[in-house]
């Protein structure tokens, strides 16, 4: 029987599906230092990971029976992919499975920002009983998203999902992408009707200057932030910014400065420099809506990830 180790877990439906197809699967998490021994002792042929488990050259060299390394999710920074491939190991990930979940998190932050939910949820438990009217007044200058312009930096899988939701709620969109010149975005409605929009991407400066909100959906390449003080300076006064992409894409110091000075109104962050120990200044800032890197973490995304990994494993061994 072919044995699979899902070291960072996998959905229940994927476990059932793989077992029905004759595989043995363990979801016991083994510490990084024990992994090589466990894989060899138990003769696992498939190692499935998310972001926690590292699959480096040493493991690849010392586990010669491994045939598949599967990553549930987008990035593969935790796997020595090219080295594994050179050794004949089949390496794959599930890049599209969580796009919608990340896109919806962008709007969780956006809807919350424009009505100050992030701040209200902090202050209501502390003083909502005695300072109700004062709090009501301070949150009475909210705004609507409909009719506003959302700038989308990076118009790949997630950027396009974001565009669909934005169009659906009546926002204008301006997209920028280094490589994609235009994209066909299709909205599907409750009654099976469909409507396609061909969106042409624009240069970065135009998007920065004309957006009420900016959302980032590009990979992190190199050490330089794509949004630093200069780019913030080009943005509309009072704009908001969301980063659910990767820590380091925004200069966090410049961001806090611009929030303090009123250049930007608010920010929503799911990703941070120095995760999992982000700056406490950032965490304490009263104009930032915060989530701890949960963009892909929905039940639906985990189901899709499990199904996609399972199908790829089944296809590999049926060859
Ligand atoms: P994708 O590859 O489909 O799209 C990225 C797009 O960015 C591409 O179209 C590419 O051409 C463009 N791009 C690259 N460099 C650029 C630059 N300098 N300027 C402008 N455009 C540039 O990727 P995706 O699936 O949409 O994912 C986007 C990001 O979201 C990734 O960084 C990924 O790590 C992150 N992500 C975060 C979470 C989370 O939990 N918060 C979950 C999934 C993905």
Q: CATH number for the domain including 271?
A: 3.40.50.720
Render pLDDT for 72-102 as a digit per residue (tens, 0 to 9).
988 888 999 999 999 999 999 999 999 999 9
Q: Indicate if ligand 1 lies below 6 Å from the C-beta of 161.
A: no
pLDDT of residue 185: 98
31 catalytic, yes or no?
A: no
Å from CA of 75 to ligand 1 middle: 10
Residues 156 and 173 in one domain: yes
If we measure between CA atoms, which residue out of 16, 20, 76, 72 comes closest to residue 46? 72
Please check the confidence at residue 160 and state whether its pLDDT lies above 90. yes
Chain centre to alpha carbon of residue 267: 16
Catalytic residue among 115, 293, 303, 316: 293
Q: How confident is the model at residue 319 (pLDDT cuts 50, 70, 90)?
A: confident
Q: Using DSSP bridges, classify how beta strands 194-200 and 182-188 pair: parallel, antiparallel or unpaired.
A: antiparallel
| 102 CB within 6 A, ligand 1 | yes
Same domain, 237 and 258: yes
Residue closest via CA to ligand 1's atom 35 equals 245
pLDDT value of residue 151: 99
Q: Whose CA is nearest to atom 33 of ligand 1?
A: 245
**Catalytic residue at 246?**
yes
Mean pLDDT of 233-241: 98
Distance 220 CA to ligand 1 centre (A): 8
Please check whether residues 13 and 123 belong to one and the same domain.
no
197 and 173 within one domain: yes
Residues 193 and 247 in one domain: yes
Tokens of 275: 């995760």
Nearest CA to ligand 1 atom 14: 218
Residue 307 has pLDDT above 80, yes or no: yes
User: How many angstroms separate the alpha carbon of residue 215 from the centre of ligand 1?
Assistant: 11
Considering 109, 157, 176, 246, which one is annotated as catalytic? 246
Q: How many domains does the chain have?
A: 2
pLDDT at 243: 98
Query: How would residue 254 be classed by pLDDT, with cut points 50, 70 and 90?
Result: very high
If asked whether residues 269 and 306 sit together in one domain, one would say no
Q: In the annotation, is 287 catalytic?
A: no
Indicate whether 279 and 202 sit together in one domain: yes
> Tens of pLDDT along 5-44?
999 999 999 999 999 999 999 999 999 999 999 999 999 9
Q: Is 227 in the pocket of ligand 1 (CB under 6 A)?
A: no
pLDDT at 49 (0 to 100): 97
Ligand 1 centroid to 17 CA: how many Å? Answer: 30
Q: What 3-state DSSP class applies to 139? A: coil
Helix ranges (DSSP H) in the chain: 12-20, 35-42, 57-62, 81-86, 99-114, 117-127, 132-138, 157-168, 204-210, 229-234, 252-260, 280-284, 299-318
Whole-model pTM over 0.85 = yes
**Domain check: are 35 and 157 in the same one?**
no
Can you give the pLDDT at residue 313?
Answer: 97
Residue-number span of the structural domain to which 8 is assigned: 3-95+299-317
Tell me, yes or no, whether 245 and 223 share the same domain. Answer: yes
Q: 56 and 88: one domain?
A: yes
Q: Are strands 288-290 and 264-269 parallel, antiparallel or unpaired?
A: parallel
Residues 112 and 69 in one domain: no
The protein residue whose alpha carbon is closest to atom 12 in ligand 1 is 154
Tokens of 234: 């080009």
Looking at the structure, do residues 240 and 136 belong to the same domain, yes or no?
yes
Distance CA 141, CA 143 (A): 7
Average pLDDT of the residues of the chain: 97
């Amino acid at each position: 029987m072919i044995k699979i180790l899902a070291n960072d877990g996998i959905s229940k439906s994927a476990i059932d599906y793989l077992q029905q197809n004759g595989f043995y699967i363990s979801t016991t998490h083994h510490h990084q230092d024990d992994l090589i021994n466990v894989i060899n002792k138990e003769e696992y042929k498939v190692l499935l990971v998310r972001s926690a488990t590292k699959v480096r050259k040493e493991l690849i060299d010392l586990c010669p029976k491994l045939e598949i390394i599967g990553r549930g999710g987008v990035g593969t920074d935790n796997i020595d992919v090219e080295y594994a491939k050179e050794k004949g190991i089949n390496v794959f990930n599930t890049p599209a499975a969580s796009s919608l979940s990340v896109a919806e998190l962008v709007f969780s932050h956006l809807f919350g920002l424009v009505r100050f939910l992030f701040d209200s949820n902090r202050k209501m438990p502390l003083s909502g009983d005695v300072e109700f009217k004062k709090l009501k007044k301070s949150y009475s200058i909210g705004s609507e998203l409909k009719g506003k312009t959302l700038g989308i930096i990076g118009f790949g899988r997630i950027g396009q999902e974001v565009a669909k939701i934005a169009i659906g709620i009546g926002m204008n969109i301006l997209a920028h992408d280094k490589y994609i010149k235009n994209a066909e975005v299709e909205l599907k409605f409750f009654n099976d009707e469909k409507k396609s929009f061909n969106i042409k991407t624009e240069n970065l400066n135009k998007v920065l200057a004309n957006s009420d909100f900016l959302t980032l959906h590009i990979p992190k390449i190199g050490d330089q932030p794509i949004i630093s003080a200069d780019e913030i300076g080009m943005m509309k006064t009072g704009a908001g910014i969301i980063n659910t992409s990767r820590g380091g894409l925004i200069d966090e110091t410049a961001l806090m400065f611009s929030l303090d000075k009123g250049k930007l109104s608010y920010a929503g962050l799911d990703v941070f420099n120095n995760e999992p120990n982000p700056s406490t200044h950032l965490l304490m800032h009263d104009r930032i809506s915060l989530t701890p890197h949960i963009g892909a973490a929905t039940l639906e995304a985990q189901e899709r990830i499990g199904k996609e990994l399972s199908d790829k494993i089944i296809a590999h061994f049926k060859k």
